[in-house]
Amino acid sequence: MNMLAWVDVFLLQPAPLLCSLLAIMAAFLMGFARSGIGAGGFVVSPLMVLALGSSIGIAIVAALMLPAALTSYWQHRSDAEPELSKPLIPAALVGTLAGGLILWLLVSSGEIKLIDRRLELVVAGLSLVYVALVSFRERIAQHFDNLSYPKPASLFLMGTGVSISQTVANSGSPLMTVYFHCHRIGKEKFVGAQSTFLLVQNTLKIVPLVLLGMLHLGNAKAAVLLFPLTILGSWLGHRFYKRATENMFFGLYVLLLILGFSASVLLLIGRAKVFGLA
């Protein structure tokens, strides 16, 4: 077995050691954030794209989200409320179909450099939107003091939007977090609902990524190498979740926001410029 084939994705990067370290950090945070706060794509996606490039980074994050989502669902399955989860399942299907179409439009034409740049901007732009959403969640929630328990139609629309974003950029759960925060749903309930929804959606979105040729055997090998870090992160994240107060919970969110913001800004500048390739 040719071991170099398993690490080519890392060795072929402009700064192999730095890019590998960033990918390792992203893989660990994928598990830790998903199990610890029920989110994380808004940080992991730009960080992995910065590390490995847009096409490869998006595909690897999508692959890593599967074990992270499965672990998170298993850890929080008892917290999920059917009233919150049921409308989100069809939303995952509809949103993934729409997101797959948008992703096809982004990658179906143009030179590789142009396609990569489009994806960089989409990942960075959406991540910055979610950074802003979570940063101003309290101010946003103050404008929705009279909201009642979430209605099925409202949950479906929100879940569809999250699914589109998850398919295109592997991020979107902050939209769901802020939505539940506006409805004054506690972390136990909304993390349970998120875990159920993300398990379904993260599984569905593999299909368009494979059909578009973004996820294939070559980069799947790199994802396999990173899986143990995601599992370790999931275990530690769950321990954090069990012990964290609401302040600690959102404190971690703030730290991740800073990291996600920094990685997103670098992507806006352009990965090629950051690594001196342009």
User: How far is Cα 103 from Cα 174, in angstroms, rounded to an integer?
Assistant: 20
pLDDT of residue 258: 83
- Domain-located, residue 133: yes
Of 173, 205, 204, residue with least CA distance to 191: 173
Non-local (6+) Cβ contacts of 187 within 8 A are: 37, 38, 246, 249
* Structural domain that includes position 207: 15-274
- Domain-located, residue 5: no
pLDDT of residue 250: 73
- Domain-located, residue 262: yes
- Domain-located, residue 178: yes
Cβ 237 vs Cβ 35: under 8 Å: yes
Given a cut of 90, whether residue 158 has pLDDT beyond it is: yes
- Domain-located, residue 3: no
Q: pLDDT tens-digit profile of 188-230?
A: 677 778 888 989 999 999 999 999 999 988 888 889 999 999 8
Cβ 107 vs Cβ 115: under 8 Å: yes
> In the structure, what pLDDT confidence band is assigned to residue 4 with cuts at 50, 70 and 90?
low
Sign of dihedral through CA atoms 191, 192, 197, 203? Answer: positive
- Domain-located, residue 9: no
- Domain-located, residue 8: no
Q: How many independent structural domains does the chain possess?
A: 1
- Domain-located, residue 1: no
- Which tops the pLDDT comparison, 247 or 39? 247
pLDDT of residue 185: 78
Percent of the chain with pLDDT over 70: 94
Non-local (6+) Cβ contacts of 143 within 8 A are: none
User: How far is Cα 159 from Cα 97, in angstroms, rounded to an integer?
Assistant: 13
